[in-house]
Chain A
């Protein structure tokens, strides 16, 4: 029972971390119809930035600075790698995203020299506590709460602010909203800023549970978060969050059984099943093809 409790708890926590990444995917996809392959690597870079900065400055300076730098990175990536291709076919933009991901991984490899970097232990959230007798870290409890708070704030932003309305308009119809005077570029930049901000927060929580950061450590969480976004219905924020929690919990439960090798494969099997059975996901909107 204790084992099961701790498994479910860490599953929820992992799901929350995936949720924070998945929102970035789902928002970008909703607006640009682009799988931002570089998103997982931005998440990894956020982890590395934290590693490097926490050695030279106190934690309460390095956390906000890390978030600001990551957001800046997301902004720059969009301006440099995706904006020039706005009128190009979708495949070119996706290839550009893969190129950025390759670049970020190689940069990280160069910076770290291939050595795994130990993540700074952040006071309070890496403390151990007991819940229903199961030992766990504070971060496990903090994550779902933080995720819910951030999602509520985000929903408020999207439903009630000007930029949120613009975002919804752009994701509905790119060209018409442009004709209506929506500043496409600033809306897209805002999307990337929000997405990378959440990824930065996610990396803070994620790497607290994992001792080290390596250049490849963004790739798999990134892909899984994307699967979560597809599972929940791409373009839908609550869908992404629910999808992420389901995937996080399933993955941790499988890790506890004999089939631990398949914990990653399960996510992708789920993806193929959902794409075949209900390609629009749980909350996705139905789209029709026009000739």
Chain B
């Protein structure tokens, strides 16, 4: 028994080292090579998407609830974050169409006044992220009361509908004083505000890609801990067989509601991070297409694998933002134009790849394995041959 324990530790240790290495490499790269490189866009957006994908995986892969409301909860999170942190000094210029905002409370102002520039920023952003998550989780609780009674595809379509309703409400003119109607919110702290500047405003140390990685990493670590706890085991039992799980004394309604709220909490935090990444928030970004995109990431990574979701997010974002970019531009080889290459071709190639994964590699990259398992498997085999 103690022997197995040691092995598990070794596998996790290697994974932990890899993650730490990625963190360090990101910081080093960011401060050495061109900061406008697409690599950093990929890292930032990939970090945000991996958090959202993992939160969706918690629901779809680990609890077996097929929900398509992720974009709606991200929208709630993004708006909560933006509204709470826009400095009061710029609020009226952003809400000019509605003669100023009815909301004169900015976490950023409060904490920067009390704790100083840098420290205040950190506390305000973290608090706002947590608030974003809480708002998303609260709405998830409300909508979960009726819809979690539904089965698979009905649940999917009901949550999808809920996300669409939210989008309509946030674009409503009558709420313009709070949500700025269909117009964008901006001016709140973004990732680039975390770059350390000297007194004359020059950037001396870049942290703008490290911060999203760190924030997403912490949230994902919490989800991993949750999945390995007794709650996580209950979720998996519900996924595998509801009736059997209920017979074993698991309170179905309570655990489903819990999983739904936690997933939405992290989707809300993910929305806040997305707001920081995009530097503007607009309700029309959070469409059902966004949910589908995240769902496809989860599928590519492997339903039921946290590390798969993370890997797939970075791969997906890297392909769509960076590696496949050349497909969108007309190209000449030896004076002849390569056919088909023009704007939009990238996405076509991309969706074909996704269809191939969905049809022929249903397990995705990782199946239901995790990264530590990959390092562990070899040793277990060795152990078996010893016996």
Contact = CB atoms under 8 A, between A and B. Distances in A.
Interface of A: 33-35, 80-81, 84-85, 88, 90-92, 94-96, 98-103, 105-107, 109-110, 113-114, 216, 219, 223, 226-227, 230, 261-262, 264-265, 267-269, 271-272, 275-276, 279, 291
Interface of B is mostly: helix
Contacts of B299: 95
Interface string B367-387: 000000000000000000000
B243 interface: yes
B243 A291 contact: yes
Given A109-B344, A264-B164, A94 B153 contact: yes
Nearest to A215: B344
Given A261-B171, A265-B169, A268-B165, 8 more contacts: A81-B355, A95-B358, A102-B354, A262-B169, A272-B143, A275-B154, A279-B150, A279-B154
B296 A35 contact: no
19 contacts: A95-B296, A95-B299, A102-B296, A102-B354, A103-B348, A107-B348, A109-B344, A109-B347, A110-B342, A110-B348, A113-B342, A223-B161, A227-B157, A262-B172, A264-B168, A265-B168, A268-B162, A272-B162, A291-B243
A110 B346 CA distance: 9
Nearest to B349: A106
A101 B296 CA distance: 12
Contacts of B333: none
A107 B350 CA distance: 11
Contacts of B296: 95, 98-99, 102
B358 to A, nearest CB: 5
B156 A35 contact: yes
A96 B358 contact: yes
A99 B354 contact: yes
Interface string B144-164: 001101101110111011101
Interface in B300-352: 303, 342-345, 347-348, 350-352
A276 B162 contact: no
B288 interface: yes
B299 to A, nearest CB: 5
Contacts of B154: 230, 275, 279
B344 A110 contact: yes
A275 B289 CA distance: 23
B115 to A, nearest CB: 40
Interface of B: 60, 66, 143, 146-147, 149-150, 152-154, 156-158, 160-162, 164-165, 167-169, 171-173, 243, 288-289, 292, 295-296, 299, 303, 342-345, 347-348, 350-352, 354-355, 358-359, 362
A276 B168 contact: no
A268 B161 contact: yes
B359 A81 contact: yes
What 10 pairs between A and B have smallest CB-CB spacing? Answer: A268-B161, A265-B168, A110-B344, A103-B351, A106-B347, A265-B165, A276-B146, A99-B358, A106-B351, A109-B344
B288 A219 contact: yes
B161 A101 contact: no
A233 to B, nearest CB: 13
B165 A110 contact: no
Contacts of B157: 35, 223, 226-227, 230, 271
B72 to A, nearest CB: 11
Contacts of A34: 153
A99 B161 contact: no
A226 B354 CA distance: 25
B347 A91 contact: no
Nearest to B345: A110
B177 to A, nearest CB: 16
A114 B347 CA distance: 12
Contact of A272 (B147, B173, B345, B348): B147
A90 B359 contact: no
B164 to A, nearest CB: 5
A92 B61 CA distance: 12
B164 A88 contact: no
Contacts of A227: 157, 161
Contacts of B153: 33-35, 90, 94
Nearest to B243: A291
A102 B354 CA distance: 9
A279 B172 CA distance: 29
A106 B348 contact: yes
A186 B333 CA distance: 46
A234 to B, nearest CB: 9
A261 B168 contact: yes
Contacts of A96: 355, 358-359
A261 B173 contact: yes
